[in-house]
Amino acid sequence: MRTEEDRNRGGVAGAAAVGVAALGLGEAIAAARGGSLIDTIGRALIDTVPIPVVEATVVISGRHDKAATRAGVGAGAVAATAAISALPPRLRLPGVVAAGAATAALATRQSTRSASAMLGAAAASGVLAAGLRRRPRGVLGTLGWTLAGAGLFAAAHTLQRDLDRKQDGVIRRLGAMGAPGTVPEDGLEGEAGLSALVTPEHKMYVADVSLRAPRIDPNRWRLSVKGMVAHTLRLSLADLAADAVEFDAVLVCVHNRAGEGRAGNARWLGVPLVRLLEHAIPDDNATHLVTRAVDGYTISLPLDALRSGELPGYLVVGMNGQPLSPAHGFPARVFVPGLYGQYTGAKWLSELELTDDSHSDYWVKRGWTRELLRVHPHARIDSTLPGREIAGTTSVTGVAWAPPHGVDAVEIRVGQEDWQPVELGTELSPSSWRRWRTTLKLPAGAHTIQVRAISRSGQTQDAVDRPPFPVGPTGLHTVTVDV
Ligand SMILES: Nc1nc2c(c(=O)[nH]1)N[C@H]1C(S)=C(S)[C@@H](COP(=O)(O)O)O[C@H]1N2
Ligand SMILES: [Mo]
C-alpha cells in the first residue's frame, strides 16, 4: 500500500513536469483570449526588477532580450513548482494558492492588466494543485506531463501566430502610408557589408518593455489629445495620415553601445507635433506633453522645446512607405529625431496628454534621469574587406549619425596614428545616418582601427568608454583587421 510519504517522494523531475503542464495550460488559455500568461508575468518582472538587473539583461541577452525574459519566467515557474512540492504536504495547497494569487496580482497591474492572463493563472493553479497531489513518478508519468505541457505551448504558439497574421492582414489592407516613390541614394551603393541607407522594417531593431506588441484595431483606435487644452481632440488614423509629411531620421536606442545594431535609419511619415498643439491650444500652465501608450508606458516632452522647434517632434504613422508594423508601434508613435528612443516618445500611442510638471515617466520612476537624453555623435564600422580596385588595400565602410544637426565629418585612425577623414555619402537629412567609406593601405599583420563622428554642431564623439546608464553610452567602435 502506498503511504502519503511514498507519494511525496516523487522526484523533482515529476514536480517540474507538473509545472510545465500547468504553465502550458495557463498560456494556452490566455492565448485563446488574445493574451499571454508568460508575457504578462515577464512584463511585470521588467517593471519591478532593479535597474542593474535590467541593464545586465540587455548586455547579456542582446537582441534576444524578450526570449531571455520568457525563458526566465518559464524557469522561475518550474523552480517555484519544485519548491512547492518540497513543502510538507499540508503546506502545498497554501503554497499553490499563494503562487496563483501572486501571479494574478501581477496580471492586474496597471501596465499589464490582463483578464486573459488572470484566467490562465487560475487554470495553472488548478493544474498545479491537482498535479502536486498525485505527483507523477517514474519516467512515463513525468514524460506524459511534460509532453502535455509541450503540446499546450505549441497550441498557444499557433493561436498567437494566427492572431498576428490576422493583424498583419488588417494593417496591409490600410494600404501605403506615404509615397513609396524612388529608393533614395547617397552615392555609396554597392559597397559589400555596408548597412542600407534606409533600414528595411524587418532589419530595424526592436526595443521596448512589452514582450508582445499589442494588437490594436485601427478602425476603433482614436488618438486623443487631452488634459490642459482648450480643445480636446480625437483623431483617427486617416485624420492623421492626411496631415502627415515624410522625414528621414535615425532612431537610436540608449542601449546602443559602440558598434552595436540598436539603431536604424528610416523614412518616416508623421504629423509635426506643433500642428496638433496649434489645434488643441494648450493652457498657459501646461508644461509637458505626455505620450502614453496602451501598454502603460509613458514618455513626456517639454512643451516649450516642442513649440520652439528645438525638439522637432512628430506623431508618426508610417515607416518606409507603409503603416508602422506592430513591433514598431502601430498605429502611431511619437518620435523626436535627436533624442534616444527611451526619451523620444511612446509606440502604440493611446493618447497625448498636456500636463504640468507633476507627471513622472516610466523610466524616470525606475531611476533614469528626468533630463532628455540626446543622441551622442557616433560612427560605426560595418565592413573591412580587401580593396577591390587596388591590391594590398583594405576598404572600410560604415554609418555615422549626429541627429538632429548632422554629421560634418567621420575620421578613422589606425593604431595610434593621426585621425584622417573618410569619404562621406550624400546626406538624406541632418537627422539621418550618413554612410561613409575609405580605403586604407595597411602592411601585413593585425591592425586596430577606430572611427569617430564629428557633428555639425562641433561635437566630437567622446572616446571614453561609458555604459548606457545613466546618461547614454560613449566610446569608440574599435575593430581589429588581419591583413
Ligand atoms: N510604448 C512603448 N514605447 C516605447 C518603448 C516601450 O517600451 N513602450 N521603448 C522605447 C525605446 S527604449 C526605444 S529604443 C524605442 C524603440 O523603437 P523601435 O522598437 O521601433 O526600434 O521605442 C521607445 N518607445
Ligand atoms: Mo531603447
**Among 339, 376, 340, 346, residue whose Cα is nearest residue 361:** 346
- Pairing label, strands 333-335, 263-272: unpaired
Kindly state whether residue 161 falls inside one of the protein's structural domains: yes
Task: For the chain, give the mean pLDDT.
Answer: 94
Contact 237, 174 (CB under 8 A): yes
Whose C-alpha lies nearest to ligand 1, atom 4? 346
Contact 481, 449 (CB under 8 A): yes
Contact 258, 379 (CB under 8 A): no
Give dist(CA 151, CA 28) in Å, integer.
Answer: 9
Is 164 strand, coil or helix? helix
Angle, alpha carbons 367-371-374 (nearest 5°): 115
What Cα–Cα distance (Å) separates residue 316 from each residue in 141, 223, 279? 54, 12, 17
Whose C-alpha lies nearest to ligand 1, atom 13? 341
Please report the pLDDT score of residue 10 as a whole number: 57
CA of 205 to the centre of ligand 2 (A): 10
What's the rounded mean pLDDT across residues 282-293? 98
Same domain assignment for residues 357 and 462: no
Whose C-alpha lies nearest to ligand 1, atom 24? 346
For residue 363, give the ligand nearest its CA.
1
Please report the pLDDT score of residue 179 as a whole number: 80
Same domain assignment for residues 395 and 429: yes
For residue 254, give the ligand nearest its CA.
2
Assign 6 a pLDDT band (cuts: 50, 70, 90). very low
pLDDT top residue among 110 and 277:
277
Is a pLDDT exceeding 60 seen at residue 262?
Answer: yes
Give dist(CA 46, CA 44) in Å, integer.
Answer: 5
Q: Which of 340, 365, 390 is the last residue of a domain?
A: 365
Same domain assignment for residues 252 and 152: no
Phi-psi region of 319 (alpha: psi -120 to 50; beta: other; left: phi over 0): beta
Same domain assignment for residues 219 and 333: yes
Is a pLDDT exceeding 90 seen at residue 137?
Answer: no
What Cα–Cα distance (Å) separates residue 292 from each residue in 3, 252, 313, 367? 58, 20, 15, 19
Kindly state whether residue 188 falls inside one of the protein's structural domains: no
pLDDT digits (tens, 9 = 90+) for 473-482: 999 999 999 9
Same domain assignment for residues 144 and 29: yes
Q: How many CA atoms lie within 13 A of 83 on its CB side?
A: 11
- Pairing label, strands 333-335, 322-323: unpaired
| Atom of ligand 1 minimally distant from the CA of 348 | 1
Whose C-alpha lies nearest to ligand 1, atom 21? 206
Number of continuous H segments (helices) and E segments (strands) in the chain: 13, 18
Whose C-alpha lies nearest to ligand 1, atom 6? 208
Kindly state whether residue 370 falls inside one of the protein's structural domains: no
| Atom of ligand 1 minimally distant from the CA of 347 | 3
Kindly state whether residue 9 falls inside one of the protein's structural domains: yes
Same domain assignment for residues 160 and 36: yes
pTM: 0.94
Cell of 163: 492572431
pLDDT digits (tens, 9 = 90+) for 290-339: 999 999 999 999 999 999 999 999 999 999 999 999 999 999 999 999 99
| Atom of ligand 1 minimally distant from the CA of 294 | 1
CATH number of the domain encompassing residue 441: 2.60.40.650
Same domain assignment for residues 405 and 290: no
Q: Lowest mean pLDDT: which of 159-168, 319-328, 360-369, 447-456?
A: 360-369
Q: Which of 170, 191, 224 is the last residue of a domain?
A: 170
Cell of 418: 593621426
What Cα–Cα distance (Å) separates residue 54 from each residue in 87, 204, 259, 347, 408? 31, 22, 21, 20, 35
Give dist(CA 29, CA 116) in Å, integer.
Answer: 7
Radius of gyration (Cα) for the chain, nearest Å? 26
pLDDT digits (tens, 9 = 90+) for 342-365: 999 999 999 999 999 999 999 999
What domain count does the chain have?
Answer: 3
Please report the pLDDT score of residue 388 as a whole number: 81
Assign 233 a pLDDT band (cuts: 50, 70, 90). very high
Same domain assignment for residues 336 and 400: no
Kindly state whether residue 464 falls inside one of the protein's structural domains: yes
Same domain assignment for residues 349 and 396: no
| Atom of ligand 1 minimally distant from the CA of 293 | 1
Same domain assignment for residues 209 and 261: yes
Give dist(CA 431, CA 377) in Å, integer.
Answer: 11
Is a pLDDT exceeding 90 seen at residue 136?
Answer: no
Give dist(CA 388, CA 195) in Å, integer.
Answer: 18
Give backbone dihedrals phi and psi of 126, rounded to 5 degrees, phi first. Answer: -60, -45
What's the rounded mean pLDDT across residues 35-62? 93
Give me the domain span that covers residue 337: 201-365
Same domain assignment for residues 291 and 409: no
Kindly state whether residue 52 falls inside one of the protein's structural domains: yes
Kindly state whether residue 392 falls inside one of the protein's structural domains: yes
Is a pLDDT exceeding 50 seen at residue 69?
Answer: yes
Q: Name 408's Cβ contacts closer than 8 Å, sequence gap at least 6.
A: 402, 454, 455, 456, 458
- Strands in 377-421 per DSSP E: 378-386, 393-401, 407-414, 420-421
Same domain assignment for residues 219 and 340: yes
Kindly state whether residue 72 falls inside one of the protein's structural domains: yes
CATH number of the domain encompassing residue 309: 3.90.420.10
**Among 156, 159, 209, 201, residue whose Cα is nearest residue 180:** 201
Contact 118, 104 (CB under 8 A): yes
Whose C-alpha lies nearest to ligand 1, atom 12? 342
Q: Lowest mean pLDDT: which of 129-133, 261-265, 382-386, 446-450?
A: 129-133
- Residues near ligand 1 with C-beta < 6 Å? 204-210, 251, 253, 293, 295, 297, 328-329, 341-342, 346-348
